[in-house]
Structure 1
Amino acid sequence: MKKLLFALAFTFLSGISGLAQENNFFSQTEIGPMLGRVKVWDDSHDLRVNFSLESFNGVKVKPNHAVGILLGINSYPDIKLMPIAFGWRGYKENGKRTSPYAGIDLGYASAWLEKRTANEWSEQWHEGGFMFSPSLGIKRNSKNSKRAYTWSLGYKRQYAFFYDGMKSGTGSLSNIGESSLPPGFISVREESYVFNSLLIKWGIAF
């Protein structure tokens, strides 16, 4: 599934350059904190503050609507994920410099930045997963209308996984079905995580 998503995203981005020559290109880059909760050793929850940098690039399908691809980096406790998602941006132009806008991003986040560690007996690695993120905000055009500044609040639901695998020859028990085990492993322990975050974003759009 994720290979298909990356292939479709590459195909879409390859076609944007031609449309950009017709002034249909739209780009928005946003940065800001992600606020959420994280469970600590005594099963209580602490506030977590993480970091998000994302860039949306696409084409205008109508004067106030754009669809495209979102790429970025999101930091979470002990893991960094790189989202790639299909997105939509909609603006309600009212003839003034300041107007409301909304956005939705739906896709997958990769754990490419996380190192895979291994020794003679075991191997540990991370994987990303599904992500969903709607947002609402305001856009203020520059005086010459060549760019705009954006401020928004958003929500992000992000899945991630940690795997601890025992290699062949080190035991005989399996935590998941033998047919599902990667080659060379006799057992794999899986931990799954769901990050729910409030996003506060500042950005610039062209």
Structure 2
Amino acid sequence: MRLKTLLLILVFYFSIVRAVAQESPYFQQTEIGVLRGKGPQNWDGSRTDRNNLSLHTFHGIKLHPKHVLGLSTGLDFYDQLTLIPIAIGWRGFLGKENKPQLVGGIDIGGGAAFVEKKTSTEWEESWYEGGAMTSAHLGVRLPAWKGKSALSVSIGFKRQEASYSYAYKNGLLIPPTSFVPTGILPRGYESLSETYYVFQSLFFRMGLMF
């Protein structure tokens, strides 16, 4: 399922590269890379290292030759779940346009768990939800030998929140990470537990700019 989703997104990303590149006011950046960080805490307090695949694309409008505002999205394949980040972003450039440039970027938004299926039976339900996301990076833009395309290399930090909910409909209680009192439970639920995740990652990405 994840491989098929990744391939579909890749086809979509690169199918719009030409259209975006034809319009001079527009800027597009697509990268693939790795999110490196610590996994959730284990029962003994330890944490394992994780290396997760990340696909990122940014589409913006050049308000100035060195400043771009736009929207970003992608796919982040964490160990527990897959999230689709959706954010408002800024890109800034330092250096001459036809020469290698330093690039800085900030993205602020959230992550959506659209690709995760909600499980539901007569007695129980479980689902994932995304949360707030912030990301900042520095990198370089290396112009190609012809045209406006360029190779990009980025390193940065990303913080992503998410949650997992498990609900019983028959009144059986489970040991929750945080327990929602009965008085504010969604209609039809007898008990509900929620586990919260905060993924803090250093990332390295490579891709193309247009």
Q: TM-score, normalised by structure 2?
A: 0.82
TM superposition shift of 1:140: 0.7
Residues 172/34 of structure 1: CA separation in 2 closer, same or farther (3 Å cut): closer
* Deviations 1:75-118 (CA, angstroms, capped at 9, x unpaired): 11120000100000001123652110100000010011111112
**Aligned match of 1:186:** 190
Residues 28/95 of structure 1: CA separation in 2 closer, same or farther (3 Å cut): closer
TM superposition shift of 1:203: 1.3
1:96-175 matched pairs, under 5 angstroms: 97-167=99-169, 169-171=170-172, 175=179
Which one of 70, 73, 81 corresponds to residue 71 of structure 1? 73
**Aligned match of 1:42:** 44
Q: Distance in 1 between matches of 2:61 and 2:129?
A: 30
* Deviations 1:38-65 (CA, angstroms, capped at 9, x unpaired): 2334321221100100110010111111
Letter of the aligned partner of 1:197 in structure 2? Answer: S
Q: Distance in 1 between matches of 2:53 and 2:47?
A: 19
> Any unmatched runs of 5+ in structure 2?
1-19
Q: Distance in 1 between matches of 2:206 and 2:22?
A: 27
Matched residues, number: 187
Residues 21/49 of structure 1: CA separation in 2 closer, same or farther (3 Å cut): closer
Identity percentage over the alignment?
39
**Aligned match of 2:9:** none
* Deviations 1:109-149 (CA, angstroms, capped at 9, x unpaired): 00111111122211110000000000001111112241111
Letter of the aligned partner of 1:150 in structure 2? Answer: S
Residues 43/128 of structure 1: CA separation in 2 closer, same or farther (3 Å cut): same
For residue 176 of structure 1, give the secondary structure of its aligned residue in structure 2: coil
TM superposition shift of 1:23: 1.7
Residues 121 and 170 of structure 1 are in contact (CA less than 8 Å); yes or no, is this contact kept in structure 2?
Answer: no
**Aligned match of 2:10:** none
Q: Structure 1 stretches (4+) deviating beyond 6 angstroms? A: none
* CA-atom RMSD in angstroms: 2.2
TM superposition shift of 1:205: 0.6
Letter of the aligned partner of 1:170 in structure 2? Answer: G
TM superposition shift of 1:177: 3.6
Letter of the aligned partner of 2:87 in structure 1? Answer: A
Q: TM-score, normalised by structure 1?
A: 0.84
For residue 180 of structure 2, give the secondary structure of its aligned residue in structure 1: coil
